[in-house]
Structure 1
Amino acid sequence: MNILITGAKGFIGKNLIAQLENVRDGKARIEGLDPDLTILEYDLDTDPQLLDSFCERADFVFHLAGVNRPKEQSEFMAGNFGFASVLLDTLKKHGNTCPVMLASSIQAALANPYGESKKAGEDLLFSYGEETGANVLVYRFPNVFGKWCRPNYNSAVATFCHNI
Protein backbone atom coordinates (compact mmCIF):
# COMPACT_ATOMS: atom_id res chain seq x y z
CA MET A 1 0.00 0.00 0.00
CA ASN A 2 1.28 3.46 -0.93
CA ILE A 3 0.39 6.08 1.67
CA LEU A 4 0.87 9.74 0.75
CA ILE A 5 1.35 12.10 3.69
CA THR A 6 1.30 15.83 3.02
CA GLY A 7 2.69 17.96 5.81
CA ALA A 8 5.08 15.11 6.52
CA LYS A 9 7.44 17.24 8.62
CA GLY A 10 4.71 18.74 10.77
CA PHE A 11 3.79 17.56 14.24
CA ILE A 12 1.00 15.18 13.21
CA GLY A 13 2.87 14.05 10.09
CA LYS A 14 6.02 13.11 12.01
CA ASN A 15 4.01 11.12 14.55
CA LEU A 16 1.98 9.34 11.86
CA ILE A 17 5.10 8.46 9.89
CA ALA A 18 6.82 7.11 13.02
CA GLN A 19 3.87 4.81 13.73
CA LEU A 20 3.53 3.67 10.10
CA GLU A 21 7.26 2.89 10.07
CA ASN A 22 6.72 0.80 13.22
CA VAL A 23 3.99 -1.14 11.40
CA ARG A 24 6.13 -1.54 8.28
CA ASP A 25 9.11 -2.71 10.36
CA GLY A 26 7.05 -5.22 12.37
CA LYS A 27 7.29 -3.28 15.66
CA ALA A 28 3.56 -2.48 15.81
CA ARG A 29 0.30 -3.64 14.28
CA ILE A 30 -2.77 -1.76 13.13
CA GLU A 31 -5.84 -3.93 12.58
CA GLY A 32 -6.50 -4.27 8.84
CA LEU A 33 -3.28 -2.56 7.70
CA ASP A 34 -0.84 -4.70 5.74
CA PRO A 35 2.72 -3.97 6.88
CA ASP A 36 3.84 -4.03 3.23
CA LEU A 37 3.54 -0.28 2.81
CA THR A 38 5.40 2.57 1.21
CA ILE A 39 5.27 5.98 2.84
CA LEU A 40 5.30 8.86 0.35
CA GLU A 41 6.36 11.97 2.28
CA TYR A 42 5.50 15.41 0.91
CA ASP A 43 6.28 18.74 2.57
CA LEU A 44 7.13 22.34 1.69
CA ASP A 45 10.71 21.49 0.72
CA THR A 46 9.77 18.46 -1.42
CA ASP A 47 10.29 18.77 -5.17
CA PRO A 48 6.82 19.80 -6.46
CA GLN A 49 7.19 17.38 -9.39
CA LEU A 50 7.10 14.49 -6.93
CA LEU A 51 3.50 15.36 -6.05
CA ASP A 52 2.45 14.19 -9.52
CA SER A 53 4.15 10.81 -9.09
CA PHE A 54 2.89 10.43 -5.52
CA CYS A 55 -0.72 11.19 -6.52
CA GLU A 56 -0.55 8.67 -9.32
CA ARG A 57 0.67 5.91 -6.96
CA ALA A 58 -1.19 6.70 -3.72
CA ASP A 59 -3.64 4.18 -2.28
CA PHE A 60 -4.50 6.51 0.62
CA VAL A 61 -3.80 10.19 1.28
CA PHE A 62 -3.38 11.77 4.70
CA HIS A 63 -3.62 15.48 3.88
CA LEU A 64 -2.02 17.02 6.96
CA ALA A 65 -0.39 20.04 5.28
CA GLY A 66 -1.66 23.42 6.29
CA VAL A 67 -0.78 26.92 7.39
CA ASN A 68 -1.53 28.02 10.93
CA ARG A 69 0.89 30.86 11.73
CA PRO A 70 1.64 32.83 8.56
CA LYS A 71 3.32 36.21 8.20
CA GLU A 72 0.42 37.45 6.03
CA GLN A 73 -3.24 36.48 6.52
CA SER A 74 -3.57 35.67 2.79
CA GLU A 75 -1.27 32.71 3.39
CA PHE A 76 -4.06 30.96 5.32
CA MET A 77 -6.18 30.54 2.18
CA ALA A 78 -3.19 29.73 -0.03
CA GLY A 79 -1.97 27.01 2.32
CA ASN A 80 -5.23 25.54 3.60
CA PHE A 81 -7.35 25.79 0.45
CA GLY A 82 -4.91 26.42 -2.39
CA PHE A 83 -2.67 23.44 -1.80
CA ALA A 84 -5.68 21.19 -1.17
CA SER A 85 -6.95 22.23 -4.59
CA VAL A 86 -3.60 21.37 -6.21
CA LEU A 87 -3.53 18.00 -4.44
CA LEU A 88 -7.08 17.05 -5.44
CA ASP A 89 -6.60 18.26 -9.03
CA THR A 90 -3.48 16.10 -9.27
CA LEU A 91 -5.37 13.04 -8.00
CA LYS A 92 -8.13 13.77 -10.55
CA LYS A 93 -5.56 14.10 -13.34
CA HIS A 94 -4.55 10.49 -12.69
CA GLY A 95 -8.10 9.22 -12.14
CA ASN A 96 -7.02 8.24 -8.64
CA THR A 97 -10.05 8.05 -6.35
CA CYS A 98 -8.21 6.69 -3.32
CA PRO A 99 -9.51 7.77 0.09
CA VAL A 100 -8.35 11.17 1.32
CA MET A 101 -8.27 12.18 4.99
CA LEU A 102 -7.99 15.87 5.84
CA ALA A 103 -6.68 17.09 9.17
CA SER A 104 -8.75 20.16 9.94
CA SER A 105 -9.38 22.20 13.05
CA ILE A 106 -12.22 23.12 15.37
CA GLN A 107 -11.42 26.65 14.18
CA ALA A 108 -13.21 25.77 10.92
CA ALA A 109 -16.46 26.64 12.69
CA LEU A 110 -15.27 30.18 13.46
CA ALA A 111 -15.38 33.38 11.42
CA ASN A 112 -11.69 34.26 11.33
CA PRO A 113 -9.15 33.99 8.47
CA TYR A 114 -7.70 30.70 9.72
CA GLY A 115 -11.09 29.11 10.39
CA GLU A 116 -12.49 30.27 7.06
CA SER A 117 -9.51 28.81 5.20
CA LYS A 118 -9.87 25.46 7.00
CA LYS A 119 -13.62 25.39 6.25
CA ALA A 120 -12.92 26.18 2.58
CA GLY A 121 -10.53 23.23 2.47
CA GLU A 122 -13.14 20.96 4.05
CA ASP A 123 -15.83 22.08 1.59
CA LEU A 124 -13.45 21.52 -1.31
CA LEU A 125 -12.74 17.99 -0.11
CA PHE A 126 -16.44 17.17 0.28
CA SER A 127 -17.12 18.48 -3.25
CA TYR A 128 -14.24 16.37 -4.55
CA GLY A 129 -15.74 13.30 -2.90
CA GLU A 130 -19.15 13.96 -4.46
CA GLU A 131 -17.62 14.60 -7.88
CA THR A 132 -15.26 11.62 -7.98
CA GLY A 133 -16.87 9.09 -5.66
CA ALA A 134 -13.73 9.03 -3.53
CA ASN A 135 -14.13 8.31 0.16
CA VAL A 136 -13.24 11.52 1.99
CA LEU A 137 -12.78 12.01 5.72
CA VAL A 138 -12.41 15.23 7.67
CA TYR A 139 -11.21 15.27 11.25
CA ARG A 140 -11.37 18.48 13.27
CA PHE A 141 -8.74 18.04 15.92
CA PRO A 142 -9.55 20.05 19.08
CA ASN A 143 -6.10 19.76 20.65
CA VAL A 144 -3.14 17.55 19.96
CA PHE A 145 -0.40 16.26 22.19
CA GLY A 146 2.45 13.83 21.81
CA LYS A 147 6.06 13.38 20.92
CA TRP A 148 7.58 16.47 19.28
CA CYS A 149 4.88 18.80 20.67
CA ARG A 150 6.14 22.34 21.12
CA PRO A 151 5.13 24.40 24.13
CA ASN A 152 3.48 27.73 23.35
CA TYR A 153 2.80 26.57 19.81
CA ASN A 154 0.46 23.66 19.16
CA SER A 155 -0.59 22.14 22.45
CA ALA A 156 -2.09 23.41 25.67
CA VAL A 157 -0.87 20.23 27.37
CA ALA A 158 2.73 20.73 26.19
CA THR A 159 2.62 24.36 27.33
CA PHE A 160 1.25 23.36 30.74
CA CYS A 161 3.92 20.67 31.20
CA HIS A 162 6.64 23.08 30.11
CA ASN A 163 5.50 25.72 32.57
CA ILE A 164 5.31 23.54 35.70
Structure 2
Amino acid sequence: MSIVITGGNGFLGWHTRVLAHSLGRSCTSLGVGDRFNLDEAAAALSGAEILVHIAGVNRGSDEEVAEGNRRFARQMEQALEAADTANLKTVVYANSVQQDNDSVYGLAKREAGAVLAEAAGRAGAEFKDVVLPNLFGEHGVPFYNSVVATFCHLVAAGETPTVQDDKVLTLLHAQDAAEVLLGVRRHEEQELVEVQCSVSGLLERIQDMAAAYATGTIPRLDSDFERNLFNTYRSFLTGDGLPRVLELKTDPRGSFVELIRSEGGEGQSSFSTTKPGITRGQHYHRHKIERFVVMSGTGEIAMRRMFSDEVVRYSVNGEQPVAIDMPTMWSHNITNVGPNELYTAFWVNEIFDPASPDTFPEEV
Protein backbone atom coordinates (compact mmCIF):
# COMPACT_ATOMS: atom_id res chain seq x y z
CA MET A 1 0.00 0.00 0.00
CA SER A 2 1.43 3.36 -1.05
CA ILE A 3 0.94 6.20 1.42
CA VAL A 4 1.52 9.92 0.88
CA ILE A 5 1.58 12.27 3.87
CA THR A 6 2.10 15.95 4.53
CA GLY A 7 3.86 17.20 7.65
CA GLY A 8 6.17 14.18 7.63
CA ASN A 9 8.92 16.01 9.53
CA GLY A 10 6.63 17.15 12.33
CA PHE A 11 5.74 15.36 15.55
CA LEU A 12 2.67 13.41 14.39
CA GLY A 13 4.12 13.02 10.89
CA TRP A 14 7.25 11.33 12.26
CA HIS A 15 5.16 8.92 14.33
CA THR A 16 3.02 8.14 11.29
CA ARG A 17 6.11 7.41 9.18
CA VAL A 18 7.41 5.06 11.90
CA LEU A 19 4.12 3.17 11.90
CA ALA A 20 4.11 2.94 8.08
CA HIS A 21 7.70 1.63 8.19
CA SER A 22 6.79 -1.00 10.79
CA LEU A 23 3.95 -2.15 8.53
CA GLY A 24 6.29 -2.42 5.54
CA ARG A 25 4.38 0.24 3.63
CA SER A 26 5.85 2.81 1.26
CA CYS A 27 5.46 6.32 2.66
CA THR A 28 6.24 9.53 0.75
CA SER A 29 6.29 12.90 2.49
CA LEU A 30 5.16 15.97 0.55
CA GLY A 31 6.36 19.49 1.20
CA VAL A 32 3.74 22.20 1.68
CA GLY A 33 3.76 25.98 1.87
CA ASP A 34 6.86 27.45 0.25
CA ARG A 35 8.24 23.92 -0.25
CA PHE A 36 5.23 22.78 -2.25
CA ASN A 37 5.96 21.61 -5.80
CA LEU A 38 2.86 20.78 -7.82
CA ASP A 39 4.60 18.44 -10.28
CA GLU A 40 6.30 16.47 -7.51
CA ALA A 41 3.10 16.27 -5.47
CA ALA A 42 1.03 15.10 -8.45
CA ALA A 43 3.64 12.47 -9.30
CA ALA A 44 3.70 11.17 -5.72
CA LEU A 45 -0.10 10.97 -5.57
CA SER A 46 -0.42 9.22 -8.92
CA GLY A 47 -0.80 5.56 -8.00
CA ALA A 48 -0.98 6.21 -4.25
CA GLU A 49 -3.78 4.62 -2.22
CA ILE A 50 -3.88 6.91 0.80
CA LEU A 51 -3.24 10.63 1.29
CA VAL A 52 -2.87 11.70 4.92
CA HIS A 53 -2.89 15.46 5.41
CA ILE A 54 -1.19 16.25 8.72
CA ALA A 55 0.60 19.52 8.03
CA GLY A 56 -0.88 22.55 9.73
CA VAL A 57 -0.07 25.86 11.39
CA ASN A 58 -1.01 26.31 15.06
CA ARG A 59 1.47 29.01 16.09
CA GLY A 60 1.94 32.53 14.75
CA SER A 61 -0.19 35.57 14.11
CA ASP A 62 -3.89 35.14 13.41
CA GLU A 63 -3.22 35.77 9.73
CA GLU A 64 -0.38 33.21 9.60
CA VAL A 65 -2.48 30.54 11.32
CA ALA A 66 -5.57 31.16 9.20
CA GLU A 67 -3.85 31.49 5.85
CA GLY A 68 -1.32 28.70 6.49
CA ASN A 69 -3.94 26.01 7.11
CA ARG A 70 -6.08 27.14 4.20
CA ARG A 71 -3.06 27.33 1.90
CA PHE A 72 -1.89 23.80 2.71
CA ALA A 73 -5.38 22.42 1.98
CA ARG A 74 -5.61 24.28 -1.31
CA GLN A 75 -2.21 22.92 -2.33
CA MET A 76 -3.45 19.37 -1.72
CA GLU A 77 -6.55 20.20 -3.71
CA GLN A 78 -4.37 21.32 -6.64
CA ALA A 79 -2.22 18.17 -6.37
CA LEU A 80 -5.26 15.89 -6.38
CA GLU A 81 -6.65 17.62 -9.45
CA ALA A 82 -3.33 17.20 -11.29
CA ALA A 83 -2.68 13.59 -10.23
CA ASP A 84 -3.89 10.28 -11.60
CA THR A 85 -6.08 9.24 -8.68
CA ALA A 86 -7.43 6.00 -10.11
CA ASN A 87 -5.91 4.02 -7.21
CA LEU A 88 -6.60 6.58 -4.51
CA LYS A 89 -8.97 5.08 -1.96
CA THR A 90 -8.85 7.47 0.97
CA VAL A 91 -7.99 11.05 1.87
CA VAL A 92 -7.41 11.30 5.62
CA TYR A 93 -7.43 14.62 7.42
CA ALA A 94 -5.69 15.01 10.80
CA ASN A 95 -8.16 17.44 12.30
CA SER A 96 -8.30 18.94 15.79
CA VAL A 97 -10.97 19.05 18.48
CA GLN A 98 -10.53 22.80 18.29
CA GLN A 99 -12.45 22.77 15.02
CA ASP A 100 -15.59 23.05 17.14
CA ASN A 101 -14.65 26.41 18.61
CA ASP A 102 -14.54 29.83 16.98
CA SER A 103 -10.84 30.47 17.49
CA VAL A 104 -8.78 31.46 14.46
CA TYR A 105 -7.12 28.04 14.51
CA GLY A 106 -10.43 26.19 14.92
CA LEU A 107 -12.06 28.04 12.03
CA ALA A 108 -9.01 27.49 9.81
CA LYS A 109 -8.96 23.73 10.53
CA ARG A 110 -12.67 23.50 9.80
CA GLU A 111 -12.32 25.38 6.51
CA ALA A 112 -9.29 23.31 5.49
CA GLY A 113 -11.29 20.15 6.12
CA ALA A 114 -14.09 21.36 3.89
CA VAL A 115 -11.62 22.02 1.04
CA LEU A 116 -10.12 18.54 1.39
CA ALA A 117 -13.50 16.84 1.59
CA GLU A 118 -14.60 18.39 -1.70
CA ALA A 119 -11.25 17.59 -3.35
CA ALA A 120 -11.47 13.96 -2.19
CA GLY A 121 -14.97 13.65 -3.63
CA ARG A 122 -13.87 14.95 -7.01
CA ALA A 123 -10.97 12.48 -6.95
CA GLY A 124 -13.33 9.60 -6.26
CA ALA A 125 -11.81 8.90 -2.83
CA GLU A 126 -13.41 8.45 0.58
CA PHE A 127 -12.78 11.35 2.96
CA LYS A 128 -11.99 10.55 6.60
CA ASP A 129 -12.06 13.42 9.06
CA VAL A 130 -10.04 12.24 12.07
CA VAL A 131 -10.61 14.63 14.97
CA LEU A 132 -7.69 14.37 17.38
CA PRO A 133 -7.44 15.54 21.01
CA ASN A 134 -4.24 16.50 22.84
CA LEU A 135 -1.44 14.33 21.48
CA PHE A 136 1.65 13.22 23.37
CA GLY A 137 4.53 10.89 22.67
CA GLU A 138 8.22 10.39 22.16
CA HIS A 139 10.22 13.37 20.85
CA GLY A 140 7.52 15.97 21.19
CA VAL A 141 8.79 19.54 21.22
CA PRO A 142 8.48 21.18 24.66
CA PHE A 143 6.54 24.45 24.89
CA TYR A 144 5.06 23.63 21.49
CA ASN A 145 3.55 20.18 20.89
CA SER A 146 2.02 19.44 24.27
CA VAL A 147 2.14 20.04 28.00
CA VAL A 148 3.39 16.44 28.33
CA ALA A 149 6.50 17.29 26.31
CA THR A 150 7.02 20.45 28.38
CA PHE A 151 6.68 18.62 31.71
CA CYS A 152 8.96 15.75 30.59
CA HIS A 153 11.60 18.18 29.35
CA LEU A 154 11.60 20.19 32.59
CA VAL A 155 11.56 17.17 34.92
CA ALA A 156 14.36 15.48 32.94
CA ALA A 157 16.39 18.69 33.33
CA GLY A 158 15.91 18.60 37.11
CA GLU A 159 13.44 21.47 37.21
CA THR A 160 10.07 21.68 38.96
CA PRO A 161 7.23 22.65 36.58
CA THR A 162 4.23 24.59 37.84
CA VAL A 163 0.59 24.10 36.90
CA GLN A 164 -1.09 27.30 35.73
CA ASP A 165 -4.41 25.97 34.46
CA ASP A 166 -5.41 22.72 36.15
CA LYS A 167 -7.99 21.41 33.71
CA VAL A 168 -8.83 17.88 32.58
CA LEU A 169 -7.20 16.91 29.28
CA THR A 170 -8.13 14.22 26.79
CA LEU A 171 -4.83 12.60 25.82
CA LEU A 172 -3.94 10.30 22.92
CA HIS A 173 -0.53 8.78 22.25
CA ALA A 174 0.87 9.71 18.84
CA GLN A 175 1.31 6.07 17.80
CA ASP A 176 -2.37 5.43 18.54
CA ALA A 177 -3.27 8.52 16.52
CA ALA A 178 -1.12 7.25 13.66
CA GLU A 179 -2.93 3.90 13.79
CA VAL A 180 -6.25 5.69 13.33
CA LEU A 181 -4.88 7.82 10.48
CA LEU A 182 -3.57 4.77 8.58
CA GLY A 183 -6.62 2.62 9.26
CA VAL A 184 -4.82 0.13 11.51
CA ARG A 185 -7.29 1.09 14.22
CA ARG A 186 -10.88 1.94 13.32
CA HIS A 187 -11.85 5.55 13.89
CA GLU A 188 -14.72 4.37 16.06
CA GLU A 189 -12.17 2.76 18.41
CA GLN A 190 -10.21 5.95 19.01
CA GLU A 191 -12.01 6.75 22.24
CA LEU A 192 -10.94 3.37 23.64
CA VAL A 193 -7.30 4.52 23.76
CA GLU A 194 -7.94 8.09 24.85
CA VAL A 195 -7.27 8.94 28.50
CA GLN A 196 -8.72 11.67 30.69
CA CYS A 197 -6.19 13.23 33.06
CA SER A 198 -5.88 16.52 34.92
CA VAL A 199 -2.82 18.66 34.32
CA SER A 200 -1.78 18.34 37.97
CA GLY A 201 -2.31 14.57 37.90
CA LEU A 202 -0.23 14.34 34.74
CA LEU A 203 2.65 16.22 36.34
CA GLU A 204 2.46 14.06 39.46
CA ARG A 205 2.66 10.87 37.38
CA ILE A 206 5.67 12.12 35.44
CA GLN A 207 7.46 13.21 38.62
CA ASP A 208 6.77 9.86 40.32
CA MET A 209 8.09 7.99 37.28
CA ALA A 210 11.18 10.18 37.16
CA ALA A 211 11.88 9.69 40.88
CA ALA A 212 11.68 5.90 40.57
CA TYR A 213 13.74 5.81 37.38
CA ALA A 214 16.44 8.01 38.94
CA THR A 215 17.20 5.09 41.28
CA GLY A 216 17.39 2.67 38.34
CA THR A 217 13.91 1.28 39.04
CA ILE A 218 11.36 0.76 36.28
CA PRO A 219 8.20 2.39 37.69
CA ARG A 220 4.92 0.55 37.95
CA LEU A 221 3.28 0.56 34.51
CA ASP A 222 -0.24 -0.76 34.93
CA SER A 223 -1.66 0.43 31.62
CA ASP A 224 -0.68 1.25 28.05
CA PHE A 225 -1.05 4.92 28.98
CA GLU A 226 1.47 4.57 31.83
CA ARG A 227 3.90 2.78 29.51
CA ASN A 228 3.47 5.39 26.79
CA LEU A 229 3.93 8.22 29.28
CA PHE A 230 7.10 6.60 30.66
CA ASN A 231 8.49 6.06 27.16
CA THR A 232 7.74 9.70 26.39
CA TYR A 233 9.68 10.76 29.48
CA ARG A 234 12.57 8.47 28.55
CA SER A 235 12.82 10.10 25.11
CA PHE A 236 14.14 13.21 26.87
CA LEU A 237 16.99 11.27 28.49
CA THR A 238 18.88 10.08 25.41
CA GLY A 239 22.52 11.13 25.24
CA ASP A 240 25.26 11.01 27.86
CA GLY A 241 22.78 10.40 30.67
CA LEU A 242 21.37 7.21 29.17
CA PRO A 243 23.87 4.64 30.57
CA ARG A 244 23.14 3.92 34.24
CA VAL A 245 26.13 2.76 36.25
CA LEU A 246 25.34 -0.37 38.26
CA GLU A 247 26.89 -1.29 41.60
CA LEU A 248 29.27 -4.21 41.19
CA LYS A 249 29.77 -6.07 44.47
CA THR A 250 32.87 -8.27 44.67
CA ASP A 251 34.12 -10.71 47.32
CA PRO A 252 36.32 -13.87 47.33
CA ARG A 253 33.49 -15.85 45.76
CA GLY A 254 33.24 -13.58 42.70
CA SER A 255 30.96 -10.65 41.86
CA PHE A 256 27.28 -9.74 41.94
CA VAL A 257 25.32 -6.97 40.27
CA GLU A 258 21.60 -6.19 40.31
CA LEU A 259 20.47 -5.81 36.70
CA ILE A 260 17.02 -4.32 37.18
CA ARG A 261 14.32 -3.58 39.72
CA SER A 262 10.72 -3.24 38.59
CA GLU A 263 7.81 -1.95 40.67
CA GLY A 264 5.32 -4.25 39.01
CA GLY A 265 3.94 -5.78 35.84
CA GLU A 266 5.13 -8.63 33.68
CA GLY A 267 8.61 -8.85 32.23
CA GLN A 268 11.05 -11.24 30.66
CA SER A 269 14.81 -11.68 31.08
CA SER A 270 17.22 -13.33 28.68
CA PHE A 271 20.94 -13.91 28.21
CA SER A 272 23.19 -14.16 25.18
CA THR A 273 26.76 -14.90 24.20
CA THR A 274 28.23 -13.18 21.15
CA LYS A 275 31.35 -14.18 19.25
CA PRO A 276 34.04 -11.53 18.52
CA GLY A 277 33.09 -9.28 15.60
CA ILE A 278 29.42 -10.31 15.61
CA THR A 279 26.54 -7.80 15.81
CA ARG A 280 23.15 -8.54 17.36
CA GLY A 281 19.95 -6.52 17.18
CA GLN A 282 19.41 -4.24 14.17
CA HIS A 283 15.77 -3.57 14.99
CA TYR A 284 13.49 -1.14 16.81
CA HIS A 285 10.40 -1.28 19.01
CA ARG A 286 7.34 0.96 18.96
CA HIS A 287 6.34 0.39 22.58
CA LYS A 288 8.41 -2.06 24.61
CA ILE A 289 11.12 -1.12 27.11
CA GLU A 290 14.33 -3.10 26.69
CA ARG A 291 17.44 -3.04 28.90
CA PHE A 292 20.94 -4.22 27.88
CA VAL A 293 23.63 -5.04 30.48
CA VAL A 294 27.02 -6.44 29.42
CA MET A 295 28.32 -8.79 32.11
CA SER A 296 31.59 -9.91 30.55
CA GLY A 297 33.64 -8.86 27.54
CA THR A 298 33.77 -5.62 25.59
CA GLY A 299 31.00 -4.36 23.36
CA GLU A 300 29.62 -1.33 21.60
CA ILE A 301 25.94 -0.41 21.65
CA ALA A 302 24.81 1.75 18.74
CA MET A 303 21.42 3.36 18.24
CA ARG A 304 19.78 5.65 15.70
CA ARG A 305 16.48 7.48 15.85
CA MET A 306 14.23 6.46 12.97
CA PHE A 307 14.77 8.54 9.81
CA SER A 308 17.84 10.24 11.31
CA ASP A 309 21.41 9.76 10.07
CA GLU A 310 23.02 10.41 13.46
CA VAL A 311 24.27 7.29 15.25
CA VAL A 312 24.86 7.36 19.02
CA ARG A 313 27.43 4.88 20.32
CA TYR A 314 28.24 3.61 23.82
CA SER A 315 31.25 1.53 24.88
CA VAL A 316 30.26 -1.14 27.40
CA ASN A 317 32.16 -3.84 29.27
CA GLY A 318 31.84 -6.29 32.12
CA GLU A 319 34.41 -4.55 34.32
CA GLN A 320 32.03 -1.65 34.92
CA PRO A 321 28.49 -2.80 34.14
CA VAL A 322 26.03 -0.16 32.98
CA ALA A 323 22.36 -0.48 32.13
CA ILE A 324 21.24 1.02 28.84
CA ASP A 325 17.51 1.20 28.17
CA MET A 326 16.72 1.40 24.46
CA PRO A 327 14.57 4.38 23.46
CA THR A 328 11.41 3.44 21.60
CA MET A 329 11.52 3.95 17.84
CA TRP A 330 15.32 3.96 17.78
CA SER A 331 17.06 1.16 15.86
CA HIS A 332 19.72 -0.43 18.04
CA ASN A 333 22.38 -3.13 18.05
CA ILE A 334 25.26 -4.49 20.10
CA THR A 335 28.61 -5.58 18.66
CA ASN A 336 31.37 -7.63 20.29
CA VAL A 337 34.43 -5.45 19.73
CA GLY A 338 36.72 -7.40 22.05
CA PRO A 339 38.86 -10.53 21.64
CA ASN A 340 36.72 -12.72 23.90
CA GLU A 341 33.10 -13.84 23.96
CA LEU A 342 30.60 -11.15 24.98
CA TYR A 343 28.04 -12.02 27.68
CA THR A 344 24.94 -9.82 27.72
CA ALA A 345 21.77 -9.88 29.82
CA PHE A 346 18.51 -8.46 28.44
CA TRP A 347 15.22 -7.49 30.04
CA VAL A 348 11.95 -6.37 28.41
CA ASN A 349 8.85 -5.13 30.20
CA GLU A 350 6.51 -7.62 28.52
CA ILE A 351 6.49 -11.34 27.81
CA PHE A 352 7.33 -12.03 24.17
CA ASP A 353 4.26 -12.63 22.02
CA PRO A 354 5.07 -14.19 18.61
CA ALA A 355 1.75 -12.89 17.26
CA SER A 356 2.68 -9.32 18.20
CA PRO A 357 6.45 -9.14 18.66
CA ASP A 358 6.78 -5.32 18.42
CA THR A 359 10.19 -5.87 16.81
CA PHE A 360 10.89 -4.42 13.36
CA PRO A 361 14.10 -4.95 11.34
CA GLU A 362 16.15 -1.80 10.70
CA GLU A 363 19.92 -1.49 10.54
CA VAL A 364 21.53 1.17 12.68
Structures share fold, TM-score greater than 0.5: yes
Deviation for aligned residue 1:106: 1.2
Unaligned 5+ runs, structure 2:
156-364
Work out which structure has the larger RCO, using CA pairs closer than 8 Å and 6 or more positions apart in sequence: 1
Contact 1:13 1:64 in 2 (8 A): yes
Identity %: 30
Residues 46-65 of structure 1 correspond to what in structure 2 (within 5 A)?
A: 46=35, 48=37, 49-65=39-55
Alignment correspondent of 1:38: 26
Residues 67-146 of structure 1 correspond to what in structure 2 (within 5 A)?
A: 67-70=57-60, 72-96=61-85, 97-146=88-137
Letter in 2 for 1:150: V
- Aligned pair in 2 of structure 1 residues 95, 53: CA closer, same or farther (>3 Å)? closer
Q: How many residues align?
A: 151
Question: TM-score by structure 2 length?
Answer: 0.39
Unaligned 5+ runs, structure 1:
25-36
Alignment correspondent of 1:27: none
Contact 1:60 1:100 in 2 (8 A): yes
Higher strand proportion, which one? 2
1:162 is aligned, of 147, 153, 171, to 153
Contact 1:5 1:13 in 2 (8 A): yes
Cα RMSD for the two superposed structures: 2.0
Higher helix proportion, which one? 1
Deviation for aligned residue 1:153: 1.2
Cα distance between partner residues in 2 of 1:135 and 1:114: 25
- Aligned pair in 2 of structure 1 residues 46, 82: CA closer, same or farther (>3 Å)? closer
Deviation for aligned residue 1:55: 2.0
Contact 2:3 2:26 in 1 (8 A): yes
- Aligned pair in 2 of structure 1 residues 106, 90: CA closer, same or farther (>3 Å)? same
Contact 2:93 2:130 in 1 (8 A): yes
Letter in 2 for 1:106: V
